[in-house]
């Protein structure tokens, strides 16, 4: 009986000690990585690394690989192998990576021996604890919504002459902010939250100064031919089609008309543009992906004519240092589309679709960081 007690005590003690505590060299609360016994070896669920080190974890079943990104560095594990690769170095965990019930388990020795070895400047193993530098979190946390035009600049004017782009996009932005903040764990800032004039330069400056992770400019279109309708999404480029150039000219007109004419255009056009273009080209692919997500969601929810994802040279996208897109929700110059754009049920569809587009982009983006 007494032996049994000691045995149970030992089991409890060894179980308690097997968990690994992580303390941070900052004010972050310590975390505990729980371990489980598999084949009489201590293992832990790989997703514990997401909690403790903000690691991004993805599996590649085709190559039988598991990728774990910690502190911006990639570790590659092979399923059913004890080896892991970091750059050109290989490490032996002595026990293999186990895949069980859709979960991945790594031997605890990875935490106690290999992590401090691989990330020697970030992590150390002291007194049976991991002491780690605070993890880097590159996920999307802050979004700037940019309702186009405002104040003295009405933007596109409705077929009825009664509705203005500046009013519709502000309404959409306010509703969208509410939905995103309630359901996506992000902070949403607006480049304007009332009917006021904001220059194009101020809009991107606002996004940059607030370290936004996404910049989304909201617009309605207009065309001299009233039969033209549909939804389109733009991301920045210097490459142009004639049609893109026409929309671009219209959206950029604000600089000419309201921001000091030719002088102001020149200011946007010189060195600042080259620098901004470089900053944006870094995000070109991401901007395209975000745009494609949004366009697909918008068109499938509204059944509006699909005008596609296009590149154009918008001033408002030039200066942003983050994935950025410009949405054209429809043509106010089209009688039917104007009616839809001011109806609250159609606006609801637009908001839901933009929400879905951003959510899906964020899910993929956060995984890749
Ligand atoms: Zn506009």
pLDDT tens digit sequence for 147-164:
999 999 999 999 999 999
142-368 CATH, one of 3.40.50.720, 3.40.630.40, 3.90.1010.10, 3.30.70.3420: 3.40.630.40
How many A from CA of 263 to the centre of ligand 1?
21
Quick one: 280 exposed, middle or buried, by C-beta within 10 A (0-12, 13-18, 19+)?
buried
Does residue 216 contact residue 146 with C-beta atoms inside 8 Å?
A: yes
pLDDT digits (tens, 9 = 90+) for 314-327: 776 766 778 889 99
Residue 17 pLDDT more than 60?
no
Rounded alpha-carbon distances, angstroms, from residue 313 to 56, 266, 300: 34, 15, 26
pLDDT digits (tens, 9 = 90+) for 64-83: 889 888 887 889 999 889 99
Nearest to 147 by CA among 155, 139, 135: 155
Distance 294 CA to ligand 1 centre (A): 17
CA distance 46 to 59: 11
Distance 200 CA to ligand 1 centre (A): 11
CATH 3.30.457.10 boundaries in the chain: 17-132
Q: How many CB atoms lie within 10 A of CB 250?
A: 16
* C-alpha 16 – ligand 1 centre gap (Å): 61
Residue 169 CA to ligand 1 centre (angstroms): 9
Domain 17-132 CATH (choose: 3.40.50.2000, 1.10.8.80, 3.90.1150.10, 3.30.457.10):
3.30.457.10
Residues 12-41 have a mean pLDDT of 83
Residue 185 CA, ligand 1 centroid: distance in Å: 28
What pTM did the predictor assign?
0.65
**Distance separating alpha carbons of residues 320 and 93, to the nearest angstrom:** 44
Question: CA 244, CA 246: separation in Å to the nearest integer?
Answer: 5
- Per the model's pLDDT, the better-predicted residue between 268 and 37 turns out to be 37
Rg (CA), the chain: 26
The percent of residues in the chain predicted with pLDDT above 70, rounded, is 83
Distance 150 CA to ligand 1 centre (A): 10
Burial class (CB in 10 A: 0-12, 13-18, 19+), 102: exposed
| CATH 3.40.630.40, the chain: domain bounds | 142-368
């Amino acid at each position: 009986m007494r032996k049994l007690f000691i045995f149970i005590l030992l089991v409890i003690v060894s179980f308690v000690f097997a968990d690994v505590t992580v303390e941070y060299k900052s004010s972050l609360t310590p975390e505990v990585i729980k371990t489980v016994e598999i084949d009489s070896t201590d293992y832990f669920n790989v997703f514990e690394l997401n909690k403790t080190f903000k690691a991004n974890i993805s599996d590649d079943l085709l190559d039988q690989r598991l990728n774990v990104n910690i502190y911006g560095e990639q570790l590659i594990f092979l399923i059913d192998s004890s080896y892991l690769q970091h750059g050109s170095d290989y490490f032996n965990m002595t026990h293999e990576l186990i895949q069980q019930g859709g979960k991945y388990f790594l031997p605890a020795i990875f935490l106690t021996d290999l992590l401090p070895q691989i990330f020697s400047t970030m992590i150390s193993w002291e007194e049976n604890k991991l002491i780690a530098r605070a993890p880097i979190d590159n996920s999307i946390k802050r979004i700037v919504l940019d309702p186009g035009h405002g104040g003295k600049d009405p933007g596109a004017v409705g077929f009825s002459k009664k509705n203005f782009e500046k009013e519709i996009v502000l309404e959409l932005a306010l509703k969208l902010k509410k939905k995103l903040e309630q359901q996506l764990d992000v902070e949403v800032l607006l480049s304007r939250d009332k009917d006021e004039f904001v220059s194009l330069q101020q809009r991107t400056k606002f996004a940059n100064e607030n370290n936004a992770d996404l910049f989304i400019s909201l617009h309605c279109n207009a065309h001299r031919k009233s039969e033209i309708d549909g939804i389109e999404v733009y991301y920045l480029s210097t490459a142009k089609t004639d049609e893109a150039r026409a929309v671009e000219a219209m959206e950029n007109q604000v600089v000419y008309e309201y921001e000091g004419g030719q002088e102001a255009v020149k200011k946007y056009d010189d060195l600042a543009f080259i620098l901004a273009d470089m900053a944006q080209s870094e995000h070109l692919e991401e901007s395209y992906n975000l745009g494609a997500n949004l366009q697909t969601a918008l068109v499938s929810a509204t059944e509006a004519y699909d005008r596609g994802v296009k590149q154009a040279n918008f001033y408002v996208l030039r200066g942003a240092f983050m994935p950025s897109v410009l949405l054209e929700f429809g043509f106010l110059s089209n009688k039917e589309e104007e009616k839809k754009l001011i109806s609250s049920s159609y606006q609801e569809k637009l908001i839901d679709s933009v929400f879905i587009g951003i959510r899906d982009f964020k899910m993929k983006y956060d995984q890749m960081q």
